[in-house]
Structure formats: C-alpha cells, structure tokens
Amino acid sequence: MEIALQIVILIIGFILLIKGADWLVEGSSSVATNFKVSKTLIGLTIVAFGTSAPELAVSISSLASGSSDMLLGNVIGSNIINVLLLIGIGALICPIKVNKETVRKEIPILLLISTALVVLFLDTSLNSAPSDSISRGDAIICLLFFAIFLYYLVAMAFRNREAKTKKRKKPKYKLGKSFLLAFIGLVCLVAGSQLVVNSASEIAHGIGISDRIIALTVIALGTSLPELVTTIVAARHKETDLVVGNIIGSNIFNICIVMGIPIVIFGTVTPESFQTLDLVMLVFSAVLLVLFTFRDKLISRREGSLMLAIFLIYYGYITYSALA
C-alpha cells in the first residue's frame, strides 16, 4: 500500500513538473519580449533562481537537522548534474548556440565561483587544518560573490536592452499574463519536485543508503528536476538562450545562496564522508563548458553526448563505490 501511494505521488509530481516547465518557458520568453531584454538574462534570473528554490529548501532543512553531507552533496551534485546531464540532454535535442557575452563573461564567472568553493573547502591541504570545512566566513565570501554577480546582471540589463524597432517581435502575452504564467509554472515546478524528492528519499532511506549517496543522486537529481524539465522543454522550443542562462544562473545561485545562506544561519559545516572526486567533477564540468563554447560558441550533439558519457561514468562509479 505504501509503495502504491509513493508511485501515485511520483506520477502527480512528474505531471506538475512537465506542465510547470511548459508554462515557465512560455511565460519567461514572453516576459523577455515585453521588456525587450535578452532571453539569456531572463534565464539567468527569473528561471534560474526560481528553479533553484528546491535546492535552497533542501539545504536549509538539511543543516537544521544536522546533515552537512546532505547540504554539500545537494549543491555540488546539482551543479554537476546541471552541466553534464542537463546541457548534455539539451544539446542532443537541439545543438545549443551560446552568445558571445555568455562565453566571455557568464561561463568564466561560473568557473571562478566553482573554483573558489573548492579553495575555501580544502582547509586540510591549504591551511593544515585538522579537517576540511566551510565556515561562516567562507559563506559570507560566497554571498559577496553573488552580490557582484547581481551587479553584473543589472548592468547587463541596462546595456543590452534591445532597441525599439517597428519590426521587433510582438510578445505572445501581455506583461501581466506573462508574469502570471511564469509564476504558476515555477510553483508547479517546485511543488512537483518536492513530491518526487520526498517520496524517493523515503524509499532510499528505507533501504539503508548513506546521506552522501542520497544527496549526490536522489536529492541532487530530484532537486534538479525543475532545471531538467525546463531544459528539455526549452530545447524542444529552440529557446537555447533560456537553456544556458538557466543552468549558469542556477549553478551560481546554488553555490552562493543555496549553500551560503544556510551556513551563515547555522555556522560552520564539516562533512564526514565527502570525497575530493566530487569537488574535482564540480570544477571539471565548468571547465568543459569553457572548452566546448570558447571556439565556435556552440555545444554540438557530439559534445552533448560526451557530457552525458562523463556523467554516466561518474555516477556509475560513486554508486558502485557506495554499494561495494
């Protein structure tokens, strides 16, 4: 009976996810057209921050219950999934064109912030500390990085505002309806992901899987469902600017806010079972984005396939090591 109930909850959750993503992409695209700003900017802000809401909720509840492994696994796992799995799937559906500003600025910012997190974490190697940890001071540094990123976004919004022309694209919906559609889509995404994550986590805990593996797989995959479904829907509609903006914005938001705010509130976290490989993959995934987009500003189907292959090897390894 319990399993049957969990299956029903999963189905309801996935329905909310799919419909929510559809409405969010339509509404966000229309908001960008109404404001005459790039869809990349909307992806970096409204879509990215909204789809990261599940990660923030999981992180706060994880630290409140004393599970630091769950917090870092959620953030790092979600960021790896966002790049390797989500962009990989998006590129397979439709090769992803990346605009010049994103290649020159937003992707390097993501690489910088990802590397900074690793440097802040490696206290044993860099400072001869007894253990690796993320302190409240480290979290404040992450929040300052986010403040700089927000300043950049505001400057970009004013600088890249599209000129008014007689031929400019007409919005699909009026501004009020566009915002309403995007908001309803976000609510459905967050609600659907919570239903899926809660039911999957109950099953995983029941069969004795560790917090690190649950965080890096069930929780990270589950909280990345909004980004995943949004990526698939946006790629099918050939809204590739929303795909890239969503992923980059979500990953920056995850490190700076989803990790930063809970640690500022609850204090230093010292993970017990976290591995260096997870941090290496976090930075490596950002490096791949730089390498794949630097030359031709395009993530091809071949490159998307490579991302998916790396993702499957990595997750196959951590799953095998957990069960061995």
What CATH number is attached to the domain comprising 70?
Answer: 1.20.1420.30
Q: What are the phi and psi torsion angles at 94 (to 5°)?
A: -155, 120
Does residue 78 lie in a domain region? yes
Average pLDDT score over the chain: 79
Count up the domains in the chain and report the number. Answer: 1
CB of 231 closer than 8 Å to CB of 93: no
Q: What are the phi and psi torsion angles at 298 (to 5°)?
A: -150, 135
Does residue 186 lie in a domain region? no
Does residue 315 lie in a domain region? yes
Q: Which of 36-50, 149-163, 262-276 has the lowest mean pLDDT?
A: 36-50
Q: Which of 87-96, 221-230, 297-306 has the lowest mean pLDDT?
A: 221-230
Does residue 10 lie in a domain region? no
Domain with 156, as residue range(s), is 39-160+209-323
DSSP 269: B
Does residue 194 lie in a domain region? no
Does residue 166 lie in a domain region? no
Q: Is the model's pTM score more than 0.85?
A: no
Span 70-109, pLDDT tens digits: 778 778 888 998 899 989 998 998 898 888 888 888 899 9
DSSP 160: S
CB of 82 closer than 8 Å to CB of 230: no
Does residue 183 lie in a domain region? no
Does residue 204 lie in a domain region? no
